[in-house]
Amino acid sequence: MQKFLFSPIEDHTFSIVGYDGDEKDVVIPDNYGGIKITVLCDKVFAGHDEIESVTVPDTVTDMGEFLFDGCYNLKKIKLPCELRFLWGYTFCRCGIEEIVLPDKLASIPPFAFKECANLKRIVCGKGLKKIYSWAFAGCEKLEEVVHGDDVDISPEAYSNRELNS
């Protein structure tokens, strides 16, 4: 069972503000009543440790704070090609091991991947320009971040660890 709670946004789209479900594979809808969903708000999936995979539709441009916090079994996530903004702590304490960020995402905010204990590799899209301080704080297994040459990386982004990048 997957049940989503929707809320209208001023730009005449919808956001998802709640989730009630027990499925291991979550597929987020791309519309509500024929109107596209563009935002996944704060904490929508927080604490849902039954989730193993998530498919986010290409209509989503923003993903909120603590969105997947505590989703320890989340191993696979398909991000939308239209994603432009991650808010802080989006993937905090989730189980992903590798993630590919889309080309339209311009920055990785502070603590976006905080304490992702299994995270080993990140492939950044072509549009990435900035990785903020502590974006990968507590990611002890992180080995590689693939990004373009012109990315501005805060000295504290990797918790003072040396990585292959």
Whole-model pTM: value is 0.93
- In tens, the pLDDT along 127-165 reads 999 999 999 999 999 999 999 999 999 989 986 555 555
What's the domain count of the chain? 1
Residues of the chain with pLDDT under 50: none
Q: Which helix (H) or strand (E) holds 161?
A: none
CATH number, domain containing residue 41: 3.80.10.10
Question: Which structure tokens are listed for 81?
Answer: 């090609």
pLDDT given at position 1? 85
The pLDDT value given to residue 158? 83
Question: For residue 41, what are the domain limits?
Answer: 1-165
b/e map of 86-106 (b: 16 or more CB within 10 Å)? bbbbbbbbbbbeebebbebbe
